[in-house]
Amino acid sequence: MRAVQSLNEFKEMAQRTFQNNQESLDTDGVLKNPHLKAYLLESNHKKISDSSSCPLGQWKALEDSRGWFTNIDNDNPYSFFIDTTDDRVWKLYSLLDVKRSDVLVNEWITHCKGMDYCWLSRQQLLHWEGRDNWEERGIGIRYADGLAPEDTAGNFSLKAWHGAGRHIEGLNELLDKAKEAFAIHSIRWQKKSGNDAEIITEWYSNGKVTISKGNDIDEVLATISEMAIRYKGSLLAAARLRDSKMGAFELNFTQKIDLDAFTLKVLKGVGDMRLWLVELEHEPDFRRFKGVDLHNWDRVFLDVGIDYAYLTIPKKGCVNAAPRIAAIQGEDNSGKTQIYYDGVKIFD
């Protein structure tokens, strides 16, 4: 593989990937290369250095663009690229197969203190709704009752592409009801010019986006940056509210949860919620916890009822715990989740 030394060379590589995939789809009906993937990452680090940990190999700075790095690895060089020009939300790009890429990125984030996914809320996933030339192509809805005993657990998983409603009577009504009861896990958006799709993306609740088509790589990167800017704005707004008022983040769930099972999970400090808590109060319909957020070892306090939670993050603590809990609990146990602070809806 030819060495990638600059941002322009990365763009050329990504654009060739789009073109090769489109050609192979048109001629053979199969993809020739993995899709370009981007991961929005919330970082408590101001910058990355050449010696910082990397999902694969080591980071090396690109020559022409400050804050951009690529990975150097004996077997898979130039398979990751990262844009750290923003001091809070980094954009990581991958050209690996999605299964391998997801595993490597998750391991890196889990073991790198101060790093987390950008957990996108329902409204952030619906960001392009009503925008000129943008249309929704499909949606993924998920609910897995992971806190219930296996023999009584309820699960709901659905990914539906638009257009099927014309052939299955009642499908659109089912989708509308499911969206109100359960969490949105992913959503597919495309930007059109006339009858041609210029960009086709699928966004996930953990801030990952898969780009299956992009006629202009600069426009693709701008679209991803647009969401990163929006997410950073939500983080800053939430932090300002937290710092200006004494209060807690309020999470409202549409599904009731098993409090005993929730307690067992957070007491062990395991799972994607990355909370390690101890129980302070115990009632049939209420639990109170204190402990740490394993993302950065900040203190947190959590009150949990059967269909709500109050999360208190002291000053200087990272507020990214709120959307993380909302997204993971929403998909796993709690259904559609909304986040408020002192009556103000946040991460909207």
Reading the chain (348 residues) residue by residue, the pLDDT tens digits are 578 999 999 999 999 999 998 888 888 877 788 999 999 999 988 888 655 689 999 999 998 889 999 999 989 999 999 999 999 999 999 999 999 999 999 999 988 889 999 999 999 999 999 898 999 988 998 887 666 666 655 677 788 777 665 677 777 788 888 888 888 999 999 999 888 899 999 999 999 999 999 999 999 999 999 999 999 999 999 999 999 988 899 999 998 888 888 888 888 887 788 999 999 999 999 999 999 999 999 999 999 999 999 999 998 899 999 999 999 888 888 889 999 998 888 987
d(CA 205, CA 272): 13
- What are the residue ranges spanned by the domains of the chain? 7-117, 246-345
d(CA 259, CA 253): 13
Q: Are 93 and 36 in contact (CB under 8 A)?
A: yes
d(CA 133, CA 314): 42
From the candidate CATH numbers 3.30.300, 1.10.3470, 3.10.180, 3.60.90, the one assigned to the domain spanning 246-345: 3.60.90
* Dihedral pair phi/psi, residue 215, rounded to 5°: -75, -25
Question: CB burial class (10 A; 0-12, 13-18, 19+) of residue 334?
Answer: buried
Please report which helix (H) or strand (E) contains residue 189, including its range: strand 183-193
Q: What is the pTM of this model?
A: 0.92
Beta bridge partners of 99: none
Tokens (6 digits) for 4: 């990638």
d(CA 282, CA 88): 37
H helix runs in the chain, sequence order: 7-28, 98-111, 122-125, 171-181, 217-244, 259-267, 321-329
Q: Are 104 and 55 in contact (CB under 8 A)?
A: yes
Residue with tokens 């930007």: 191
| Amino acid letter for position 71 | N
Beta bridge partners of 299: 292
